[in-house]
Amino acid sequence: MSKIRPSKGAPYARIMGVGGYRPVRVVPNEVILETIDSSDEWIRSRSGIATRHWASPEETVAAMSIEASGKAIADAGISAEQIGGVIVSTVSHFKQTPAVATEIADKLGTAKAAAFDISAGCAGFGYGLTLAKGMIVEGSAEYVLVIGVERLSDLTDLQDRATAFLFGDGAGAVVVGPSDEPAIGPTVWGSEGDKSETIKQTVPWTEYDSSGKFPAITQEGQAVFRWAVFEMAKVAQQALDAAGISPDDLDVFIPHQANMRIIDSMVKTLKLPDHVTVARDVETTGNTSAASIPLAMERLLATGQAKSGDTALVIGFGAGLVYAATVVTLP
164-192: per-residue pLDDT in tens? Answer: 999 999 999 999 999 999 999 999 999 98
Q: Which H or E run includes 324?
A: strand 322-329
- 211 pLDDT tier (thresholds 50, 70, 90): low
Q: pLDDT tens digits for 301-327?
A: 999 999 999 999 999 998 889 999 999
Q: Which residues pair with 116 in a beta bridge?
A: 87
Dist. CA 218–CA 166, nearest whole Å: 11
- Least confident range of 50-54, 91-95, 240-244, 287-291: 91-95
Compare 94 and 291 and report the one with higher pLDDT.
291
* pLDDT at residue 209 is higher than 70: no
The CA angle 240-68-101, to the nearest 5 degrees, is 90
- Least confident range of 141-145, 224-228, 253-257, 294-298: 224-228
Q: pLDDT tens digits for 1-29?
A: 889 888 889 999 999 999 999 999 999 99
Residue 102: partners with Cβ closer than 8 Å, 6 or more residues away? 86, 115
Residue 291's closest CA among 281, 306, 278?
Answer: 281
Q: Which H or E run includes 265?
A: helix 260-270
Put simply, whether the predicted model's pTM sits higher than 0.85 gets the answer: yes
* pLDDT at residue 219 is higher than 90: no
* pLDDT at residue 210 is higher than 80: no
Residue 218 three-state SS: strand
Computed over every residue of the chain, the mean pLDDT equals: 95
Neighbours of 202 (CB within 10 A): 16
Distances (CA, A) of 118 to 127, 232, 235: 8, 21, 22
Residue 201's closest CA among 92, 287, 57?
Answer: 92
Average pLDDT of span 29-33: 98
* Residue 45 Cα to chain centre, angstroms: 23
Q: Where are the alpha helices (DSSP H) in 77-171?
A: 100-108, 124-138
Instruction: Name the residue type at position 137.
Output: V
Dist. CA 231–CA 40, nearest whole Å: 30
Average pLDDT of span 139-154: 97
CA dihedral over 129, 132, 134, 137, signed as positive or negative: negative
8 A C-beta contact, residue 319 and residue 329: no
Round the CA-based radius of gyration of the chain to a whole number and report it: 19
- How much of the chain exceeds pLDDT 70, in percent? 99
Residue 120: partners with Cβ closer than 8 Å, 6 or more residues away? 89, 126, 127, 128, 290, 320, 322, 324
Average pLDDT of span 75-82: 98
Indicate which residues carry an active-site annotation: 122, 256, 287
